[in-house]
Structure 1
Amino acid sequence: MTAYVVTGTDTGIGKTVFAAALAGALDAHYWKPVQSGLEDGADADTVARLSGIAASHILPETYRLTQPLSPHRAAELDGLTIDPARLELPQHRPLVVEGAGGVLVPVTRDVTYADVFATWALPVIVVARTGLGTINHTLLTIEALRARGVTVHGVAFVGDANPDNEATIATMGGTRRLGRLPRLPVLAPAPLAAAFAAHFDLADFA
């Protein structure tokens, strides 16, 4: 049954919005194993608001950390120790799992998200910007994942169209361009679902 990890080339690039769109399109369960930063709400709250999936499909985080920092540091400030062994994949399918920031963000002082993804053995979707700098960041992300034996399902772009950047990443990265989520004037469930349907082929995620 369908299950994907959604990761990004950096923080704040639209990864959570894409995860919401994908979860909604698949009517999937959504899980963010580690949430860092709660002042502006959790990413699960954003997915619940934008995806249209049932509240029961939003799975609880294993760790909820108060500071908007890398999980390893946020946990230390909260007086916690993250145990990667507790980050077991839920059995629900379809399933969309969201990481935090980029693939080499530390979960602990010894373990990165890419290491955790390798233990899960799920295909990973890389969410990338379309603008300046994205070629370097995206190709580095793909290399880091493949170095750990992680399957890269493809790249989902977020932002204004940039055909050359998108094509260059797909060619040099040896991966597929899944589509591009454009900037939306109103970020709400209906426009997001329509944009995903218009710019992505659901068969690529079957």
Structure 2
Amino acid sequence: MSTLVITGTGTEIGKTVTTAAVAAVAVAAGRSVAVLKPAQTGVRADERGDADEVARLAGGVTTCELARYPEPLAPATAARRAGMPPVRPHEVAEAAAKLAVEHDLVLVEGAGGLLVRFDDEDGTLADAARLLAAPVLVVAPAGLGTLNATELTARELRRLGLDLRGVVIGSWPESADLASRCNLADLPAVAGAPLLGALPAGAGAYAPAEFRAGAPGWLAPGLGGTWSAEEFTSTHAP
């Protein structure tokens, strides 16, 4: 796996922190890592973006951003309102392929969910993943409502012939409610793919050294970590 596309079931669910954890584990294993953010929205030119945050937490990664739009909107809408060129799926694929030449692992972090539009021709992150023939990791929230959104995302990935590598819970609460605990068993069932990790709520606020030390324990071996879905689910089962 030289390229991994990371998407989510929505916004503000832990995609960037999950990307950072995957990157941190890979860097610790001695792999060279690049993080590609095709379209960063809602951030000024002088502010830190998602790729910068991954670099801060994971350390030792190459970052690449194809476009930045000031308003916190879907990339196609943000580009149109800013009067700026949109990012197109083939540009994402080309950038990732170039990074893959010089890096062991390229992480492509999308904006919002799988089908958020990049351009005025309905190009999406899914189109970029198809061009790359890259597996997709889905980041999902823990609680009530996550099953429907996760299953819809998984169904669309299968319809498009894309490889759903697994699901990661982007923010596991310190005191999980009943729905969250039940979802540990239900998420892999509705996704038809394994649960590959659970990041603790607030992990993005950890100091970089603490984050890097903790990352292997938040991700399953399929992502280079030591986390066990079976043990975690058994521990938190209702």
Q: Structure 2 length normalisation: TM-score?
A: 0.78
Distance 1:85 1:115, change over 3 A: closer
Question: How do 1:127-138 and structure 2 match up within 5 A?
Answer: 127-138=139-150
Shift of 1:17: 0.7
1:198: which partner in 2? 217
Q: CA RMSD in A?
A: 1.8
Give the paired residue count: 202
Which structure 2 residue ranges, 5 or more long, are not aligned? 28-32, 225-238
1:154: which partner in 2? 166
Contact 1:2/1:205, CA 8 A, preserved across alignment: no
Specify which of 81, 85, 109 is matched with residue 98 of structure 1: 109
State the alpha-carbon separation in 1 of the partners of residues 81 and 191 from structure 2. Answer: 37
2:34: which partner in 1? 29
1:187: which partner in 2? 206
Contact 1:182/1:195, CA 8 A, preserved across alignment: no
Paired-residue identity, %: 40
1:116: which partner in 2? 128
Shift of 1:112: 2.1
State the alpha-carbon separation in 1 of the partners of residues 190 and 215 from structure 2. Answer: 25
Does structure 1 residue 50 correspond to structure 2 residue 57? yes
1:3: which partner in 2? 3
Does structure 1 residue 171 correspond to structure 2 residue 189? yes
Pair member with larger Rg: 2
Q: Structure 1 length normalisation: TM-score?
A: 0.90
Q: Would you tell me which structure has more helix in proportion to its own residues?
A: 2
Deviation per residue, 1:60-91 (Å, 9 max, x gap): 21112222110001111221232333222232
Shift of 1:143: 1.0
Which structure 1 residue ranges, 5 or more long, are not aligned? none
Contact 2:6/2:139, CA 8 A, preserved across alignment: yes
Shift of 1:98: 0.4
